[in-house]
C-alpha cells in the first residue's frame, strides 16, 4: 500500500529562480505551499502573496496590558489596599508607578511575542513530512525549494508537476505524508 501523498517538492539553484517560481505558483492560485531557502530572500513574502504577520500586534497588546497591569497594581496597593501617607506624598502618582509599569511592559511584551510566534507558526512541530526528503539538508546550504501541498484545492499531480517544471523546478519529487 502506497503512503499518502503530502505534496510535491522542486529544487531551484538561485534565489532569483525561486523568487520567480514563487510568483508563478502564487499566480496559479495555490494557497497551501511554502518556500525553503538557506538564507532570507528579500521580497519573497510578497512574491508568495503572504500578508504581514500579526505577531507585532500581539506584542503591542502584551505591552499595553503589561503597562496597565503595572499602573493598576501600584494604584491598588497604594490608594486602596494599603493607604499610607509618607511625607505628604499622594496615595497614587504615575511617576512612582512608572518603573514597575515599564518593567511589566517589557515582560508582557516578551511573553506575548514568544507565545504569539508559537501559536501563529504552529509550534512546536516535532515532525514535518518535508524532513523525509533526502535532499532537504541542502535547503540549509545552497539549494532553494518550493513545496506544494496535496491538500491545496488547486492541487492536481500532473498539472502541479507541469507548473513546477514550467517555473524552472528541477528534481521534482513526491513527498510522503
Q: Can you name the residues that pair with 35 across neighbouring β-strands? A: 146
Q: Is 59 found in the same domain as 115?
A: yes
SS3 173: strand
Q: Judge if 47 and 61 occupy the same domain.
A: no
Phi, then psi, of 174 in degrees rounded to 5:
-85, 140
In terms of domains, do 75 and 45 share one? no
Domain boundary, last residue among 83, 105, 121: 121
The domain boundary residue, chosen from 98, 121, 144: 121
Based on the fold, state whether residues 98 and 132 are members of the same structural domain.
no
Same domain membership, residue 117 and residue 59: yes
Q: Which three cell numbers stand for residue 1?
A: 500500500
One domain for residues 47 and 62: no
Q: What is the pLDDT along the chain (177 residues), one digit of tens a residue?
A: 667 899 999 999 999 999 999 999 999 999 999 999 999 999 999 999 999 999 999 999 999 999 999 999 999 999 999 999 888 889 999 998 999 999 999 999 999 999 999 999 999 988 889 988 999 888 888 899 999 999 999 999 999 999 999 999 999 999 988
Q: What is the pLDDT of residue 38?
A: 94
Q: How confident is the model at residue 1, as a pLDDT?
A: 60
Q: The domain containing residue 60 runs over which residues?
A: 55-121
Amino acid at each position: 500500500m502506497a503512503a499518502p501523498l503530502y505534496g510535491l517538492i522542486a529544487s531551484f539553484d538561485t534565489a532569483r529562480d525561486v523568487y520567480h517560481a514563487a510568483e508563478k505558483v502564487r499566480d496559479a492560485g495555490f494557497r497551501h505551499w511554502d518556500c525553503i531557502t538557506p538564507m532570507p530572500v528579500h521580497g519573497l513574502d510578497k512574491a508568495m502573496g503572504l500578508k504581514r504577520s500579526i505577531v507585532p500586534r500581539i506584542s503591542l497588546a502584551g505591552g499595553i496590558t503589561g503597562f496597565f497591569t503595572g499602573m493598576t497594581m501600584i494604584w491598588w496597593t497604594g490608594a486602596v489596599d494599603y493607604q499610607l501617607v509618607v511625607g505628604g506624598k499622594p496615595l497614587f502618582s504615575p511617576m512612582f508607578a512608572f518603573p514597575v509599569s515599564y518593567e511589566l511592559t517589557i515582560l508582557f511584551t516578551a511573553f506575548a511575542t514568544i507565545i504569539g510566534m508559537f501559536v501563529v507558526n504552529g509550534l512546536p512541530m516535532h515532525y514535518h513530512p518535508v524532513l523525509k526528503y533526502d535532499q532537504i539538508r541542502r535547503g540549509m546550504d545552497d539549494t532553494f525549494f518550493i513545496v506544494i501541498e496535496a491538500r491545496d484545492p488547486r492541487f492536481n499531480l500532473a498539472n502541479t508537476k507541469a507548473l513546477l517544471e514550467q517555473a524552472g523546478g528541477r528534481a521534482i519529487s513526491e513527498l510522503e505524508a
